[in-house]
Structures are given as C-alpha cells and as structure tokens.
Amino acid sequence: MKDLLATRIVQLERYSKNPIMEPLQKNPWEAKAVFNAGALYEDKKVHLFYRAMSSDNTSVVGYAQSTDGFKMKRFDKPAYVPREDFENKKVPNGNSGCEDARLTRMGDTVYMCYTAYNGIESPRVALTSISYINFKKQNWNWEKSILISRPNVDDKDAAIFPKKINGKYAILHRSNNQSIWIDFVDDLSFKNEKWLGGQILMSPREEYRDNKKIGINGPPIETKKGWLLLYHGLSKSDGKYHLWAALLDLKDPTKIIARSKNPILEAEMSYEKNGIVKNVVFSNGAVVKGDKLFVYYGGADEVLCVATIKLSKLLGCLDSKGACSFS
C-alpha cells in the first residue's frame, strides 16, 4: 500500500440545506431520530433505507426516495421492522431492533445486512433480501432474516460487495468492535452454523485519527481504479467519529491500494456536534450519479445529512500514483 503525501486537500462538501431529514413526531416509529441510511441508485432515483427510532428506542428501517439526491420523499410506514427474537426488545425502553442497514443489489435480488440487537445479547449481523420486482413496487415482502455472524461476538457494519470475487460472495464486517474484516463465501445461506469470519482487512492506525476503531460505511463502489471503500474511524484523542476513504484492488480486494491520512468529513456543524450522541458523522450508504458521489450520513445519531464530491477528484488521489491528504 502506498502512503499518501500531503500535497492536496480533498474533502466532502456538505449540502447547504442539511439536515435533509429530521424526526417526525406524527409517526411514532420515527419520532426520536432518523439517521444512518443505506443507499441504492436505481431507475434514476436514490433509494434510502434509514434507521428510525421511536421514543422507546426501538430501531426500524424507514424508506425515502429522491430524484436529485437532496430532496427526499418520505413515507408514513417503515420498510422493515423487527420480526425475530434476536432483534425484539428484551429490556423495556432499552435500545433494540434493526440498526444501520446496508443494501446491495445483485441481479434480481436486493440484499440487506443490518445490525440485530435485542438489548441483552451481543449485537450481530443479520441478513435478509427482497426481489428487485418487489423493491421497485415498494412491496416490502422481505425474506426471513437470518443471523450470519458468530454468537457472543460483537459484530456490526456488514455489507456485501455488489459482484462476486473469483466466484465467491465477498462480505465486509467489523468483528470484536475494532477492525474491518473480509470474508469470501460460496453462498449466502449460512446453514449448519456457518458464520462470518475471514481475515482482517484494515485496522486502526496509531499515528492517525482512526486509531481507536474503524468500520465500513456502505458497500464498496466499483470504479476503474479499484473498489472505493469509505469507512468511519473513531479517534482516541477527541472521541469523534470521522469519515475516511480507501481504495482496494479490483481483482483482489484484500489488497489495499491507498488509504487517506486524514478524514474526508468530521463533526463540525451544530447538527453533527449536538444530538443524541455528540460529535458523530456516521455513514452506511453512498451512491454515484454521473461523476458525483453522494454520501449519506447521520449527524449526532439524530438527523440525516448528505455531502458530495466529484468521484474523479476523489479517485485522482486514491490510486497508486496519487499524492494527496484529506482533511
């Protein structure tokens, strides 16, 4: 991996009218918070599957769509709610439910990974899917959700690559609350107690501000220069979440081509610094429209925001010959 030199500054540009979504008191299921949206770009529309919280701290998945990437059309009913024992609330008013969805379309199927939590057991990665036909019709007939990460292990931040690598499904996840892992599996059934594992892809770096723990944003984005992987990193020094960028080899994503030295976004605005959890910018979805990358992120675990950058500008730095720093 080539380290990046500090010769240019590249950062995401916040939308001037952020936040793009806030809690709605008229809908109890999203009255406390709306944040952390998975994202897909299909049929010339941005589709967001965002985390929504009720006053009793139950997380469900809401749905919104947009033609321009900024102005969102919202709906009065969630797209996905807790259905299984491993995500149904066990502690009154405690956190529980379906958190931080990440979506991937592969052919005629849309897969959704999310964090399942019932308030007692360790949070684990859950997987469900829906046919693309039902997705387009907003007929939320999801397949039965299954757990795919090991029991008694804190595992979050999972997403499936949008295409197979050497005939296998590639999945990123964060095991044991610190590093990004990558695993390759033959199928997505996870039968006979087969769990996510694999190898560590990327770890915190002591010399940078992602030195406490890291986890992916959304699924990697395929580009001509490699898999663009945005991720979040937590700093030991200031306790803030920041967004970062990395580039993985297209044929072998276990190889890191480049990794930014400083964040591409950090909590600076009032809606990022003040909320349910202060000083947080957290993303689990981004889309590409033309040459523009739209990064959707939660501000302070309470509102939903968006920031953009020219994809070519970002990729101009994140390659083996690039020399730039992010701040």
- State the CB neighbour count (10 A cutoff) for residue 54: 17
pLDDT digits (tens, 9 = 90+) for 120-174: 999 999 999 999 999 999 999 999 999 999 999 999 999 999 999 999 999 999 9
Q: Is residue 271's pLDDT more than 70?
A: yes
Query: pTM above the 0.75 mark?
Result: yes
Q: Assess contact for 202 and 231: CB atoms under 8 A.
A: yes
Comparing C-alpha atoms, which of 150, 212, 199 is closest to residue 170? 199
Q: Is the pLDDT of residue 21 over 50?
A: yes
Q: How confident is the model over 23-72, as pLDDT tens digits?
A: 999 999 999 999 999 999 999 999 999 999 999 999 999 999 999 999 99
Q: Which 8-state DSSP code applies to residue 28?
A: G
What lies within 8 Å, CB to CB, of 185 at 6+ separation is 168, 169, 171, 194
Question: Looking at the domain that runs over 9-326, which CATH code has it been given?
Answer: 2.115.10.20
Q: Which two tokens stand for residue 153?
A: 């292990």
pLDDT at 229 over 70: yes
SS3 content of the chain, % helix, strand, coil (to 5): 5, 45, 50
β-pair type (58-66, 96-106): parallel
Report how far apart the first and last C-alpha atoms of the chain are (Å, whole number): 20
Band (291; pLDDT cuts 50, 70, 90) = very high
Q: Where does the pLDDT of residue 317 fall: very low under 50, low under 70, confident under 90, or very high at 90 and above?
A: confident
